[in-house]
Structure 1
Amino acid sequence: MISEVFITCAVTGGGDAPRQKNVPVTPEQIADSAIEAARAGAAAVHLHVRDLTTQEGSLDPALWRSVVQRIRQSDVNPVLNLTTGEGCGIVVGGPEAPLPLATGTWMASLRERLVHIEELRPEICTLDCGSKSSKGNVEGVMVNTVGMLRAMAARCKEIGVKPELEVFDTGHVVLANDLVKEGLVDGVPLYQLCMGTGNGAPPDVSTLMAMVNLLPPDAVYSAFSVGPMQLPYAALSPLVGANIRVGLEDNLYLSRGRLATNSELVRRAVEILERMGVRVMSPDQMRDKLKLKVHA
């Protein structure tokens, strides 16, 4: 068990267009929700942006610029953790004719996936360490080749942005470990154990511990589960040495039938942790722990 943790709030995902009104979509909504989450106790905010017409995930630099500037000009100073996970999906044509690829395929270049990171220089950006079949679209696949991941990690190292190594199964941990061994990640490696995602690692404790046991001894890591296991994971994570992630990207509800806001999920996580005697870290304490480079 660890006695202090940082909380990351995953404000809005980049997957299917939101069907619930509590999910922020516009740059103003996303930024304001992130600011509220930071005031509630989140040391870091993990961000996606959404296309204003389709509401799907986007890599538009103007949207990113609007969100990040609004947060940086606020009275809070959370660690900014921006996704690089858009533009890595293919949809095959089906079992009888996989090719040509179907509508919905979006494979972006290295430059496109990192354009907002290059410009805005957050302290952290995510790096999805592997490929995974989609649950929502039975012919869809999240595709992250070893070559792409090496190139992305190398560029993040060059510009001084720490990658958060997102792992969705045990094999992803092995791949992430290889990036660390190859010297593509500076300093203390940071992992995110993503549990309960479609066709990824299930959220049971045995699977979680299998992933924890594969991590390097000096790793700092967080764990979360999607859906109703999100808040139980706020209690479980410190017991296995992990930091916390909550937020509407992973779970829409505060309790059965009760839609949440990001700040409410953070406050509930803070309450759980304080009742366990676990101290919640500030953004600057998180920065110090991870030796993050502040660019702005």
Structure 2
Amino acid sequence: MSNPCIICVAITGSLPTKENNPAVPISIAEQIESTQAAFEAGASIAHCHVRDDAGMPTSDPDRFASLKEGLEQHCPGMIVQLSTGGRSGAGRERGGMLSLRPDMASMSVGSTNFPTRVYENAPDLIDWLASEMRTYGVKPEIEAFDLSHILRAKEMADKGEIEGTPYVQFVMGVKNAMPVDRDVFDYYIKTVHRLFGPDTPWCAAGIGRHQLALNEWAISSGGHARTGLEDNVRLDRDRLAPSNAALVELAVGLCEKYERPIATWQQARQILGLRKVAA
């Protein structure tokens, strides 16, 4: 396949700690350094969360601003995608950083079960997040934990609540949510192409030990891939991942296996319809 593969690196998340893996970057400075290495290894999107001084997840816009500024300085051209996920805040607090005008932001358009809680995404909150993204020119990445989330994204796009074609990411392997199932994965691809068109870009993320499998499924099927310490802290069963860059390198190796070129940040911006920037 000749179409370039976009690699997204989810650098930190809300859950992993240094007790899980010392390489997990917690401070803003650590996140910038870790992302720069991942960028140089081939990642063109940085999916970002921030932590407070105690290492706990937060939606603090000031911390997001510091991270965004550092990434733009040290990873020029890289797509900055901020998280509006529910572990970092409640209600509209989750979208308080959208006024920073990042390139992208994650958005879950429906609720789902997580290991010990319900990941609640109420319709009025979804509508507000989508409105803020339109106001500030932020492209949403639809995190689909369920088939219904893809269908809901189509409905929102048809109503103009999402501008342009949504970029859908299939999330598989979260306990109590969608398991890693190849038939379901293939049907997700079929659904995206049926609803949005055969050339619509999409992405996939596997959680924990499923990360590499989902990377391979996505890359071999013409999609784009997410990796990083947010989703998986191990290189394999016996070894912790030494860095985000090391996980990116595994995805790069799969791209080489399936003869997919790695998307540059310029190509990634073009594929996703994002604004051009100067490096």
Q: TM-score, normalised by structure 2?
A: 0.91
- Report sequence identity in percent: 29
Among 180, 184, 189, the residue aligned to 1:212: 189
Q: CA deviation at 1:247?
A: 0.4
- Separation in structure 2 between the aligned mates of residue 147 and residue 217 of structure 1, nearest angstrom: 24
Displacement of 1:87: 5.6
Q: Counterpart of 2:86 in 1: which secondary structure?
A: coil
* Amino acid in the other structure paired with 1:107: A
What are the superposed Cα offsets for residues 141-182 of structure 1, whole Å, 9 maximum, x if unpaired?
A: 111012211221122112111000111011222222211121
SS in 2 for 1:66: helix
Change (3 A) 1:239 1:16: closer
1:202 is aligned, of 146, 165, 179, to 179
Count of residues in Structure 1 that have an aligned counterpart in Structure 2? 272
Indicate whether 1:34 and 2:35 are aligned. yes
Structure 1 unaligned residues grouped into runs of 5+ = 89-105
Within 1, Cα distance between the matches of 2:17 and 2:209?
20
Q: Secondary structure at the match of 1:185?
A: coil
Q: Is 1:268 matched up with 2:250? A: yes
1:242 alignment counterpart: 223
**C-alpha contact (below 8 Å) 2:45/2:80 kept by paired residues:** yes
Matched, 1:4 2:4: yes
**Alpha carbons of 1:248 and 1:75: their partners in 2 closer, same or farther (altered >3 Å)?**
closer
Is the 8 Å Cα contact of residues 157 and 164 (structure 2) preserved in structure 1? no
Which residue of structure 2 aligns with residue 165 of structure 1?
142
Corresponding residue for 1:99?
A: none
- CA–CA distance in structure 2, aligned partners of residues 217 and 62 of structure 1: 36
Which residue of 1 is the match for residue 91 of structure 2?
108
Whether the aligned pair in 2 keeps the contact of 1:2 and 1:239 (CA below 8 Å) is no
2:118 partner letter: V
Within 2, Cα distance between the matches of 1:281 and 1:250? 21
| Separation (CA, whole Å) in 2 of partners of 1:151 and 1:184 | 10
- Cα RMSD for the two superposed structures: 1.9
Which deviations, in whole Å up to 9, do the C-alpha atoms of 1:16-58 show, x marking residues without a partner?
Answer: 65532121111111111111110110011101001221x2211
Structure 1 consecutive aligned stretches of length 4 or more whose deviation exceeds 6 Å: none
What is the distance in 2 between the residues matched to 1:17 and 1:128? 24
Write out per-residue CA displacement over residues 50-96 of structure 1, whole angstroms, 9 at most, x where no aligned residue. 1221x2211112211221111111154310011011368xxxxxxxx
Which residue in the other structure is 1:100 paired with?
A: none
More helix by share: 2
